Amino acid sequence: MPELPEVEATCQAIRPHIMKRKLTQVIVRQPKLRWAIPKALSEIKNTKIIDIQRRAKYILLTTSKGTIIIHLGMSGRLRVLKNNIPHQKHDHVDFIFNDGALMRYTDPRRFGSILFTTADPLRYPLLAKLGPEPFSESFNAKYLFEHTQRKNIAIKQLIMDQQVVAGVGNIYANEALFLAKLSPLRSSRLLMFDECQRLVEAIQEILKEAIRQGGTTLRDFLSPDGKPGYFVQKLFVYGRENKNCLGCHALLSIIQLGQRSTVFCKSCQK
Q: Which residues are catalytic?
A: 2-3, 57, 260
| Cα(236)–Cα(174) distance, integer angstroms | 9
3-state secondary structure of 50: strand
Strand partners, 114: 70
Candidates 22, 87, 90, 266: give the one binding DNA (CB under 7 A). 90
- Shortest spacing between CB 161 and DNA, in angstroms: 9
- 73-81, 92-100, 176-184, 204-212 -> range binding DNA (CB under 7 A): 73-81
Nearer to DNA, 28 or 96 (CB): 28
Question: Which of the stretches 9-17, 66-74, 96-104, 245-253 binds DNA when contact is defined by CB under 7 A?
Answer: 66-74
State the DSSP string of 1-46: ---HHHHHHHHHHHHHHHTTPEEEEEEES--BSSSBPPHHHHT--S
Using N-to-C axis directions, what is the helix angle for 170-179 and 193-213, rounded to 10°?
A: 120
Burial of 95: CB neighbours in 10 Å, binned 0-12, 13-18, 19+ = buried
Q: Closer CB to DNA, residue 4 or residue 26?
A: 4
Q: Does 218 sit near DNA (CB under 7 A)?
A: yes
Name the minimum Å distance from CB 76 to DNA. Answer: 8
x/- map, 93-122, DNA, by CB under 7 A: ---------------xxxx-----------
Interface residue list for DNA (CB under 7 A): 1-3, 6, 32, 34, 56-57, 71, 73-75, 89-90, 108-111, 126, 150-153, 157, 162, 169-171, 218-221, 258-261
